Amino acid sequence: MRQHATAFGRGRAPRGTVLLVAVGSARCCGESMRNEPTVLVVSQENDPQFSLLNSVPHIVGHEPVAFASAASEPVVILAWSGEKSLMRDVFTMCADVRWVHSRSAGVDNLLFPELVASDVPLVNGRGVFSQSLGEFALATILYFAKDLRRMIRNQTAGVWEQFDVEEIAGQTVGIVGYGDIGRAVARHVRAMGMTVLANKRHLPQSTDPMVDRFYETGELREMLARCDYVVLALPLTAETRHLIGDAELASMKPTAVVINVGRGPVIDQAAMVRALTAKRIKGAGLDVFEQARAGGRPDVPVGQCIVVTALRGPYRRMVESRYARVPRTVSSIHPRRAARERRGQEPRILTAAPAHEASRLSASQRRRQHAT
């Protein structure tokens, strides 16, 4: 039986699926547990999914004091949820961090100076939520096209009313940020007969069967003017912050809907509220947002917005099928050897899926994201 600890107590846990393991050379089961890093789960809540960690020593906490007992030991930090200041405090208090893992694909909440300058591998969850977010984007499109809000309202009131709805086949979706999430959106909407446009920083060298036309960064407004639905799937960087503002919203059709499944500050929220209030666009579907009022809800016109404040997705299935493969990528990296080899080289981010690949984030890219 393996010992484990949480901020809520200590105990002995049954063996189970190994989600995170040592970021070092493989160790046999008979070796001392002192040689195995402790997983520090930084989270604002005690999520039921943490039971998947029962096979490794771990601590769950929402403040630095919860991890004090492991501060001098080898640790792996799992950044589940919390402010950047909390992540920074936990990282800087630990003497031997072997690996930092971000649950999400976005890592802007982890790019504080100490981690940016360190040799510690940073692993993200690229691809883990793509299928779920692709489905959410399609669901939002159907919500507005079929006026599901009206259907639900009539059902609640017991009213039988005929009204016109739209067919989405033949309509145009513009995807801003054509990465893993963007491709998932394209697969879903293409299957519905929609025209797909994509805005990408670097145009692909080969054709993509899912996309009718690619637009360069400078052609964004030209693409937006053609779209019935605009899906944002961008990371947060200095260049993407408030990428969608008054001018971009003004270039959209008055019947257009903007859907954000990337990072909240990519949209200038105040500009979006102005556009919605003045009915310059039809609506918005938000999985993320820039600012919230009391209770966590953004200050947006409710009738024109779908707001999802906690799109969890099928975590257990995704964690077991995706995150459980991470050790195959990282376990081959001996922490001390990797640190020596990487001194003076560009820092990198390893990705959780596919597990056999390691994607690089250049030093300039890391600095750009850190600047936000």
Contacts of 275 (CB under 8 A, 6+ apart): 246, 249, 250, 281
Name the token pair of 282: 């039809």
Contact between residue 290 and residue 269 where contact means Cβ atoms under 8 Å apart: yes
| C-alpha distances in Å from residue 163, one per residue of 145, 157, 158 | 12, 16, 15
pLDDT in tens, 266-302: 999 999 999 999 999 999 998 887 876 555 556 666 6
Residue 213, number of CB atoms within 10 A of its CB: 12
Quick one: which of 272, 274, 191, 202 has its CA closest to 230? 272
Contact between residue 307 and residue 293 where contact means Cβ atoms under 8 Å apart: no
Distance CA 266, CA 264 (A): 5
222 in helix, strand or coil? helix
Q: How confident is the model at residue 110 (pLDDT cuts 50, 70, 90)?
A: confident
Domain 130-307: which CATH number of 3.40.50.720, 3.30.70.20, 3.30.70.270, 3.10.50.40: 3.40.50.720
Return the pLDDT at 355: 32
Distance CA 335, CA 191 (A): 44
Distance CA 256, CA 215 (A): 18
Instruction: Give the global pTM.
Output: 0.67
**E strand intervals along 69-129:** 74-79, 96-102, 122-124
pLDDT in tens, 227-272: 999 999 998 888 999 999 999 999 999 999 999 998 889 999 999 9
**E strand intervals along the chain:** 2-6, 9-13, 38-42, 58-61, 74-79, 96-102, 122-124, 172-176, 195-199, 213-215, 229-232, 257-260, 283-286, 305-307, 349-351
Return the pLDDT at 167: 96
Distance CA 76, CA 311 (A): 26
Contact between residue 150 and residue 165 where contact means Cβ atoms under 8 Å apart: no
Length of the chain: 372
pLDDT in tens, 163-220: 899 999 999 999 999 998 999 999 999 999 999 999 998 888 889 999 999 999 999 9
Tell me which architecture the domain covering 2-128+315-371 has in CATH. 3-Layer(aba) Sandwich (3.40)
Q: Where are the domains of the chain?
A: 2-128+315-371, 130-307
| C-alpha distances in Å from residue 250, one per residue of 29, 78, 222, 342 | 62, 41, 12, 46
> Are 2-128+315-371 and 130-307 in the same CATH fold?
yes
Q: 214 forms bridges with which residues in the sheet? A: 198
